Structure 1
Amino acid sequence: MCGRFVTIYRGPSHTYKVQRLTESSAHSFRIQAVSDAGEGPFSDTHTFCTTKSVPPALKAPKVHQLEGNTCEVTWETVAPMRGDPLSYVLQVLVGRESEYKQVFKGEEGSFQISGLQPNTDYRFRVGACRRCQDTSQELCGPLSPSSLFSVRRQDNPASGELCPAETAKGAGLISSDERFAALIVCVFAGLSILIACLLQYFFMK
C-alpha cells in the first residue's frame, strides 16, 4: 500500500472482510492486539496478491421476432476491463432439451437466428468473457438469466370461415346428434306402447 500501513479495522472481532481491492495487486497486512494496558507489537507482515476480476453478470437478453422464423437477440455490452477486450457468448435451450447450446461468440451486442420452429420454446442467455492480453487467459463471468421466446403463430382465418376439415367435422357432429335424438324418441315411443298394452291387459283382466 505505497509503503505505508493504514488502519482498516479496529474492534473485538477475530475476522474482517476487506472489499474493493485493486485486481492483480499485492496487499500487505499486519495485526496487533490492543487492551486497556496498551498496544502490543505488530505481527509479521503477510502479503496477499489479488487475481484479475471476471466480467459482471449481464441482464437477461432481449428477443425480437423478425420476418419469417427469424429472431434477433440483443444484450448489454460492458466496457473493456483495464484495457482487456470482452467478447460475449450466447446460448440457447430448445424445447425440452436439458442442455444449453452455444450459438454465438463475438464482440457484437446482437445476433440473428433463423430457422426457428413454430410452437417451440427457446430460452436464451448470455455471458461476457474477458481476454487478458498479458497472459492470453480468458475469464468468463456468470451467465445471465434466460429469456423465453417462441415464434408467433400466423393469424387464424376470419371468424365465420372454417377450413374444409373443420366444416366436415361439424357436419359429422350434427348428423350424429340427430341420429341420437331420433333413437331416444323411438325408445320412448316403444316404452309408451308397451306400458299402454300392459295397462290395457290388466284392466281387461
Structure 2
Amino acid sequence: MKDQLAAKLEATTAPPLAQKDAQKEMLQADEKKTEEEKKAAEAKKAEEEKKTAEAKNSEEEKKTAEAKKSEEEKKTAEAKKSEEEKKMAEAKKAEEEKKAAEAKKAEEEKKAAEAKKAEEEKKAAEEEKKAEEEKKAAEAKMSAEEKEAADEAARKKAEQEFEAARVRAEQQEKAMREAQAASQAAAEQQQKAAAEAEAARRAEAQ
C-alpha cells in the first residue's frame, strides 16, 4: 500500500519523462496485482470446485456403498428365507412320507391279520365239520346199547366236570373271603397302631 502511494506520489511530482515511466510502472504493478488476484480467485474457485466434486463423489460413493450393502443384505435375507422354506418343505415332505409309510404298513398289517383270522376261522370250521362227520360216522356204527352207554358216560363226565367246577368256585370264593378278612384285619391293625402312635406323640408333647 505504501509502495503504491509512493509510486503515485512520484508519478505526480516527477518530471514529465520520469512521470511517464512511473505511470507505466504503476500500470504494470496494477496489472500484475490484478493478474495475481485473478489467479488467486481462479485457484480458490478451483479448490472449491475440487472440494465440491470430492464431497459429491464421496456422497455418491457412500450412497453406492449403502445401496450395495442393502442389496447384499436383501439377497442374504432372501437366500436365508429360501433355505428355511426349502428345509420346511423337505421336513413336511419327510413327515408326509413317514405318515404315508406308517399308514401303508398299518393297512398291510390289518389285511394280514384279517387274512390270518379268516384262515384260522376257515381251518376251525373245517376241523369242526370233520369232527361232526366223524362223530356221525361213529354214531352210525354204534348199536343202540353202545349209543346209550356212550350217552351215559358223556352225561356222567359232564356231571363230574360240573361238580369239579363248583368245588373250584367254592374254593376260590373261600380264598377270596379269607384274603378280604386278612386285608381288613391288617388295615384295622394298621389303624390301631397309627392311633396308638398318635396318642403316644400327644402324650410326649404334653
Band the TM-score falls in, shorter-chain normalisation: under 0.3
Taking structure 2 as the reference length, the TM-score comes to 0.23
The structure whose RCO (Cα within 8 Å, separation 6+) is larger is: 1
The structure that is strand-richer by fraction is: 1
Larger radius of gyration: 2
Taking structure 1 as the reference length, the TM-score comes to 0.23
